[in-house]
Chains A and B, each alone.
Chain A
Amino acid sequence: DVKVTQSSRYLVKRTGEKVFLECVQDMDHENMFWYRQDPGLGLRLIYFSYDVKMKEKGDIPEGYSVSREKKERFSLILESASTNQTSMYLCASSTPRFTNYGYTFGSGTRLTVV
């Protein structure tokens, strides 16, 4: 069974901390994505990556960075966490080899910044 695994289901961090959210996929997918999900706003794209060491900004990249050193792993970094980054974070992956299959999502990380 193919999977996208996010390292934590729930996280509580303090304002100003550097936070790492990890995502690993075992499908050999080229593309990986980070979204945040907020009530009434749906899913908003933060960053995505089409290949190792490649990254592109999504719609709301401010306050975030990403790292993709290996094909299977895509990390989201909150450089200095703030309370307005409290949200559900969803990682997804896809491949252009089966472009109409859409995304496979992880179960999400609910982050609370206090």
Chain B
Amino acid sequence: GDSVTQMEGPVTLSEEAFLTINCTYTATGYPSLFWYVQYPGEGLQLLLKATKADDKGSNKGFEATYRKETTSFHLEKGSVQVSDSAVYFCARKTGGGSEKLVFGKGTKLTVNP
């Protein structure tokens, strides 16, 4: 069925380091793909999205490119900040015109000063 697999955490980086969080999805059609971020004690917020192959979503210095050939949507940021410490979730639309999203299990990022 429809699923999303993202890299296990936790991930710990120093400030200004490069970040990659891997995400792959099952190839049922060409679903819209999303990254959500959850700051401590809060609900999830949409970080960025891509709706078709080769689209690049970007926001707050984060980027992810929809790669059809590798069924991936990896999240990257060139220089992380302490304020980026959060849990990041990759998600995809399920197939068949459904409005449901399927989420990965989340990757906790901690950025140290």
Contacts and interface: CB of A to CB of B under 8 A. Distances in A.
Chain B contact residues, majority secondary structure: strand
A87 B12 CA distance: 25
B46 A102 contact: yes
B106 A107 contact: no
B44 to A, nearest CB: 4
Contacts of B100: 33, 45, 48, 58
A40 to B, nearest CB: 7
A103 B42 contact: no
B96 interface: no
Interface stretch (A66-74, A75-83, A93-101): A93-101
Contacts of A104: 46
B43 interface: yes
A32 B100 CA distance: 10
A105 to B, nearest CB: 4
Nearest to A31: B99
Contacts of A107: 42-43
Contact of B49 (A40, A48, A100): A100
B22 interface: no
Contact of B89 (A42, A106, A108): A42
A100 B91 CA distance: 12
A100 B33 CA distance: 9
A-B pairs with lowest CB-CB distance, top 3: A42-B105, A105-B43, A43-B103
Interface of B: 32, 34, 36, 42-46, 49, 51, 89, 91, 93, 99-101, 103-106
17 contacts: A40-B105, A41-B105, A42-B104, A42-B105, A43-B44, A45-B100, A58-B100, A94-B99, A96-B99, A100-B51, A102-B34, A102-B36, A102-B49, A103-B44, A105-B36, A105-B44, A105-B45
